[in-house]
Each structure stands twice: as structure tokens, then as C-alpha cells.
Amino acid sequence: MDINLPMPAVSASVSCMDLGHFYNHIKKVEESSAAFFHYDVVDGKFNKCYILGDMLCEYLHNNTKLPVEVHLAVYDIDNYIDVFAGKGVDYIAVHYEAMEKPAIIFNKIKKLGMQPVLAYRADTPPQEDFVELARQCAWILKLTVNPGFSGQTIKPTAVEHIKMMKKMLDDNNVDKRIQADGNVNPATTKMLAEAGASIFTGGTSGLFVQNYSIEENIKKLLQPTKDFF
């Protein structure tokens, strides 16, 4: 599925959803203006936790019309791509730090009918080949915290890396968007947008905030960014 992504866009981080009432929560996200689901997969090595499996991903796909982006925070990327390929995934974000030959991985993802997203960790600055890689993928995913855990504080260097990446893209006329993931909330979206992000992945701190609807939370997230779009 090709998305017509709104500008700016908000995606919903599945690892922060109420998995005990998953179906109902999927429907609540669908009622909002969230553009897609962001589905974190961590292998216990890339970071010290194990989330989320392929079967839950298939369940999500079977119960939503929204696109699904799987974020592979894993080392054995090849194997995970094979596992998730049949599960209704639209976008697969793969980490620069875990790829020896990114172009080969991107081609494999495309051959399997999905679109690659280039991901890089909070402490990794943009590398020389990022512009060329950006040309080959749907967008770029910048982790602003360590992948997998909710409730962390944004890393200031990650915001700098977004700024650097945006400049590299603009200098080379590459029209690709940057997604920010981690500690996205009304206090951080302004600096993220100013740095160059235009896709915001919401989790516990900004999107699934109790006592407010998801749509109310999206409005609160995007209000501070209004001067940038």
C-alpha cells in the first residue's frame, strides 16, 4: 500500500498500545488522523528487550485498513524480513548499524512487495552514504531514544542528527521525509519539526495520554509545529 502521507504526519507506536484490548485500541487509532501504525521489533541484542512478534503483526494487518511500518531493531535483518514479509507489512525500517550492504537489503525488501525505510540510532550521526540510500527508500527513521523502551527522554544529539540529515537531503535535492521516534510529545515536536522531522511517531508520552482522545493528543502534538508546515 502506498501512503499519501499528510504533512505533517503522526504514526502510532504499537508497543505503547493497550495490547490487552488490542482490537478496540486499533479501532480508536483508526478513528483518529494517525497515518499509519509503527510496529517495533527488538531482538534482545540490538537493545535489551524482546518485542513484538510476527503473529501480532498479522493480527494488526488483518484488523486495520491503515498501513503498517515494521521497525526492525535487530541484527539478523535478512531472517526477520523473511518472517515479516507475508504479514501484511507495507514499510520495513532497517538499521544502518546492522547492515553490511544496505542496497542489497533494500532490493530484497522491494522484491518482496514492501518499501524500505532507512533507520539510524539516536547516537549515530548521518553517514556519507545516507543521501544515496535515502534516494532508494520511502523515508528516513531517526530514533530519538534507544529503540524498544517507552518513557525515555529525547537525546539532544539525535535532534542535531535530524538537522544534519535534513541539510544533506536539501543540499542534494532529495525530497525524502524524516520520521522522529521516541519521546515525541507537545514539548518536543517543535524542536523536532524545526530540525527537519515531518513524521512523528507517538507513544506513551504524546499519543496515548490518558484522559484525552487520540485525536486530541494528535492536535496537541502538532500544534507546536504549525509554523513549520
Interface residues with ligand 5SP (CB under 6 A) are: 13, 15-16, 38, 40, 145, 147-148, 150-152, 181-184, 201, 203-206
Which is nearer to ligand 5SP, 201 or 225 (by Cβ)? 201
Shortest Cβ 72–ligand 5SP spacing (Å)? 12
Query: Catalytic: which of 43, 54, 90, 181?
Result: 181
Which is nearer to ligand 5SP, 16 or 99 (by Cβ)? 16
Shortest Cβ 132–ligand 5SP spacing (Å)? 26
d(CA 11, CA 36): 5
Which is nearer to ligand 5SP, 16 or 92 (by Cβ)? 16
Which is nearer to ligand 5SP, 41 or 81 (by Cβ)? 41
Shortest Cβ 15–ligand 5SP spacing (Å)? 5
| Residue keyed to cell 515531518 | 198
- Burial grade of 145 (CB within 10 A; 0-12, 13-18, 19 or more): buried
Whether residue 40 lies in the annotated active site: yes
Cβ(185)–Cβ(221) below 8 Å: yes
Shortest Cβ 104–ligand 5SP spacing (Å)? 25
Phi, psi of 127 (to 5 degrees): -100, 165
Cβ(6)–Cβ(33) below 8 Å: yes
Query: Catalytic: which of 40, 43, 54, 90?
Result: 40
Shortest Cβ 143–ligand 5SP spacing (Å)? 6
Whether residue 123 lies in the annotated active site: no
Cell of 123: 547516537
How far, in Å, are 16, 84, 147, 155 from residue 151 at the CA level?
Answer: 10, 26, 11, 12
Cell of 6: 499528510
Q: Report DSSP letters for 31-92, one per residue.
A: HTT--EEEEEEEESSSSS-EE--HHHHHHHHHT-SS-EEEEEE-S-HHHHHHHHHTTT-SEE
Cell of 190: 517543535
Catalytic center residues: 40, 181
